[in-house]
Structure 1
Amino acid sequence: MIQKSRWWTALSAIALTTSTIVSCVHTYPVIANPQPSTKQVNSPILTLSGHTAPIRAIALSADGQTLASGDDDKTIKVWNLKTGELRHTLVGHTERISSVAISPDGKTLISASHDKTIKVWDLATGKLLGNITGHKAAITAIIISPDGKTIASASMDQTVRLWNANNRRLRRSLKADAFSLAISPDGKTLYSGSNNGSIKLWNLSTGKLLRTLTPPLPKSPVFPFQRASRVLSLAISPNGQTLVNGSYDDTHQSIQQTDGTNIKIWDLKTRKVIHSFSVGIGSVDAVVISPDGKTFASGGLNRKISILDLQTGKLIRTLEGHAGGVYALAFSRDGKTLISGSGDKSIKVWQL
């Protein structure tokens, strides 16, 4: 079922981006429960319904015409955003879909699953073109390089694997305890977010480990075993200078195991955390930076989407409307539109 509004005709003009979509110091600014200077709550201009399980991943074509979404019911849906119609439902995975990506030329859809496989689909026809196998455990993230030549995948088998996108063969396997992935805008550096809260930087061409970013812990932790939370999501600014990662805030629990923040903003020049704060208890499963590099959006278990200033970390506005966690986000190319996928089985389009 598709809900339309008077803004429906504006969708044909939306161009969506395929960009992904995310040091050691002892002190850094902490923003506790940030509040917007002016409260703004928007309603979605479009809701796409049809999934029968929580939506974990979305991907947008470069021309803004096509959206792909993957859910816990092992299916992928391909939508025509110009008309709002469902074009294909892709079936083939045997476990939940964890990640989807569309090639820069808009011809190919890549999907990853907890069934340990990667599938390659023809985006126009929905035809399965091939399978990529080799991981020994669930795949948690997948990404395509800006030139479309390399597919990177992260798995619970403690590896990040780099695949040739043309022949689907393994180029190299990196030993990494990784959960999330991002690639720099110039396509030279791969970022992997670890289960221990650190972020590793890799040379995408050679597979060489360049450095590891390790977040500092609180000076006076509540419990001695506190650590940084797993890096659930990553986003890199268009100029390649700022990194945002989403994680988990467990301050609501009787025994706190994490450092109590679920957003960290990194300066990649200094390799330091410049802001560390929470946007609500629980997980931040999705972060995405706007095309102009001025703001970023986050979504997670609290069912809200937060729009924040990338430089200061200040909350600008909150989008409310989902009845489940927000697990996937993407900005339009002009930054005026945001798309979200949720545990309530719906996809919403927001006019910012």
Structure 2
Amino acid sequence: MAGDVGADVQMLELKSVIGFNGSVHAGLKVHPDRENIVYPLGNVVIIEHIQTHKQSFLTGHTNDVSCLAISKSGRYIASGQITHMGFKADLIIWNYETKDIYCRLSLHKVKVQSLAFSPNEKYLLSLGGQDDGCVVIWDVKTMTSICGSPAALKSAGMTYCVAYSNLNDNIFVTGGDRTLRVWELDRANRKIRPTDCTMGQLKRVVRSIEVSEDDKFFYCGTTSGDVLQVSVDKQLFRHYGPAKNKYSLGITALALVKTGEILVGAGDGTVALIKGEKFQKVKSTKIQHAGEITSIALRGHGHQFFVGTSNAQTYRFNFAEFTFELINTCHYKPVRDIVFPFGCSDIFATCSENDIRIWKGTKEALRITVPNITCHAINFMQDGKYIISAWNDGKIRAFLPESGRLLYCIEDAHNKGVTAIASTSDCMRIVSGGGEGQVRVWKVSSTSQRMEEAMKEHKGSVSSIKVRKNNEECISASSDGTCIIWDLIRFVRIQVIFANTLFMCVLYHPDEMQVITSGTDRKIGYWESINAAQIREVEGSQSGSVNGMDIASDGEYFATGGDDKLIKVWNYKEAEVTHVGIGHSGFINRLKICPNQKIIVSVSDDGAILFWNYPFKSSR
């Protein structure tokens, strides 16, 4: 059946990605070779060269990566994932040299919470999430589990993190909600034996643990905003601090420096260097608008370190001066739309909650922020002079693409939010769709904006609008199961397409004789644009709606993406899938084939932007 992924279907090549899952605690790592950083994005683990930014991808997980660990020599990378309720969550050990799967291990339910390698790489320690609550020791060489045990007493809460000894393959530590334990592995009897640490009256929730190089102490970052020092041998709590001025929103990341100092990251974006028995601040800085610090990764002996935040940003810190620079950034909320300027393939724009971002290649060139409002759709005017955007507060905003300055704002454009937007090629008019179902035409210039007409036939929100090249017609797709072709001269309906679906996307074929539609019924429909007669219908997805489509400028191929998280490239005439791309872990919302037909860019609910090599050469 058309739409099925058959044996002759080839894989799309993933070229590069923009994104970082900052919600994974300790998810940003520096590889021991000091040349690469390793981090998760969706169901992919990315290895990126620090200098050249060249990326490699470890693909094999079926859902979001939830934790990462790198062995001491760097030979192995381990990653765990989250899955659905009732299913087991895989953890994968990767061979770093070959970038292949060394082994896949499955025992934990729903989620793998934390991972750690033993110092000699003999064992891998894994901790299950809330629905599992067990620690398991795996033999790396034989790829089997040795033993496991519940991570905490039933009277305690959830265990969040694990850390291995630096010198002994048989000692490790776990910490969490009112639980802190030192464990010893008895390999001969296949048992792990815990000893609870004596904390006295102190009650803490531990979110991060680091063991000192000599294995005498381990240090814990807590949600109370202080650091605990605990003896490994005696399991006795020794110090905690600072006594005053605790870190706001808790300590969310820790790293030990060779000199004995400690780097801490806090929930309010503070990064600080502390030392001494009272954990006094030596240096401190606060990163604005970064969210919480979720990762601190030292490069070598600490001349430089990297910081990852929950708002999907990565910073490089100079250790001596304690200054930082932003090296990577991305959306951390669902990306709603993507658009290229007319005839330009080097620059594109994306929109999400709070902001519009303009990208030059994989680097952010400009960010336009409108706090607490979601941008549903964006479009470049064909002359490239400004960007128009549709917002859920019912306004249409136009911005200058070089400076991001607001050029004009159309107030109350639609009373249930603006959900779709398009412009005519002469840059004189904007066509907008709203949550109430109206399609409105606006006469615009930089100095004046007035509504020409409101066309009221849709009963549901408008999801997509496309304008014909002659600017005399447009087509709008709606969640009411109709697509309407409108006359933009007389402002009346010309034709209407009916289907038993919520339409998500509509496109004109480049010759404009046909249109193709997609929606929640998983079907891709071909229709005559003259009389709205259906030509054919094919299965576009095995599961979930088809949310985004784009057709190449030569009209020979088109690409789709949706809730099945797959990018599919189709032969237009045959209506058959030729290539499939696997990499997104969130629902794909929109995608675009760049004007020069060299790459496909797709955006999804997990905030990721993925670049795929377009598999065909243009015939034009």
Residue number in structure 2 paired with 1:234: 254
Letter in 1 for 2:166: P
Matches within 5 A, 1:207-226: 207-214=235-242, 216-217=244-245
Aligned-residue RMSD, C-alpha: 3.2
Percent sequence identity is 20
Offset, 1:311: 3.0
- Equivalent in 172, 189, 192 of residue 196 of structure 2: 172
Query: 8 Å contact 1:303–1:324 — kept in the other structure?
Result: no
Offset, 1:107: 1.3
Residue number in structure 2 paired with 1:203: 231
Residue number in structure 2 paired with 1:106: 121
Residue number in structure 1 paired with 2:271: 263
Alignment partners' CA distance in 1, 2:162 and 2:331: 25
Residue number in structure 1 paired with 2:219: 191
Query: 8 Å contact 2:69–2:78 — kept in the other structure?
Result: yes
Letter in 1 for 2:184: N
Offset, 1:246: 1.9
Residue number in structure 1 paired with 2:111: 96
Runs of 4+ aligned residues of structure 1 deviating over 6 Å after TM superposition are: 321-325
Does 2:292 align with 1:283?
Answer: yes
- Equivalent in 45, 48, 68 of residue 78 of structure 2: 68
Change (3 A) 1:279 1:123: farther
Residue number in structure 1 paired with 2:138: 121
Alignment partners' CA distance in 1, 2:264 and 2:253: 5
Offset, 1:75: 2.0
Offset, 1:165: 2.9
Alignment partners' CA distance in 1, 2:302 and 2:144: 36
Offset, 1:323: 6.9
Query: 8 Å contact 2:311–2:331 — kept in the other structure?
Result: no
- Equivalent in 46, 58, 65 of residue 48 of structure 1: 58
Deviations 1:180-219 (A, max 9, x none): 111111211111111111111111111222211127549x
Query: 8 Å contact 1:285–1:300 — kept in the other structure?
Result: yes
Q: State the TM-score, normalizing by the size of structure 2.
A: 0.41
Offset, 1:322: 8.7
Alignment partners' CA distance in 2, 1:92 and 1:322: 33
Change (3 A) 1:247 1:309: same
Alignment partners' CA distance in 2, 1:324 and 1:170: 40
Offset, 1:173: 3.3
Query: 8 Å contact 1:41–1:320 — kept in the other structure?
Result: no
Offset, 1:134: 4.7
Letter in 2 for 1:97: V
Alignment partners' CA distance in 1, 2:113 and 2:236: 26
Query: 8 Å contact 1:15–1:65 — kept in the other structure?
Result: no
Residue number in structure 2 paired with 1:244: 263
Alignment partners' CA distance in 2, 1:172 and 1:140: 15
Deviations 1:211-257 (A, max 9, x none): 11127549xxxxxxxx62122211101222x21122222xxxxxxxx
Q: State the TM-score, normalizing by the size of structure 1.
A: 0.70
Query: 8 Å contact 1:182–1:236 — kept in the other structure?
Result: yes
Change (3 A) 1:297 1:324: farther
SS at match of 2:251: coil
Residue number in structure 2 paired with 1:146: 166
Change (3 A) 1:217 1:276: farther
Q: Tell me which of the two structures has the higher relative contact order, counting C-alpha pairs closer than 8 angstroms and 6 or more residues apart.
A: 1
Alignment partners' CA distance in 2, 1:215 and 1:278: 23
Alignment partners' CA distance in 1, 2:314 and 2:181: 31
Query: 8 Å contact 1:232–1:246 — kept in the other structure?
Result: yes
- Equivalent in 259, 278, 301 of residue 310 of structure 2: 301
Gaps of at least 5 residues in structure 1 are 6-13, 22-39, 219-226, 250-260, 326-341, 347-352
Deviations 1:40-64 (A, max 9, x none): 9963431222223332321112232
Offset, 1:276: 3.5
Query: 8 Å contact 1:279–1:306 — kept in the other structure?
Result: no
Alignment partners' CA distance in 1, 2:66 and 2:244: 29
SS at match of 1:52: coil
Letter in 1 for 2:94: W
Matches within 5 A, 1:327-346: none
Query: 8 Å contact 1:243–1:268 — kept in the other structure?
Result: no
Gaps of at least 5 residues in structure 2 are 1-10, 17-30, 39-49, 84-88, 335-584, 587-605, 609-620
Count of aligned residue pairs for this structure pair: 280
Change (3 A) 1:217 1:172: closer
Change (3 A) 1:99 1:279: farther
Letter in 2 for 1:193: G
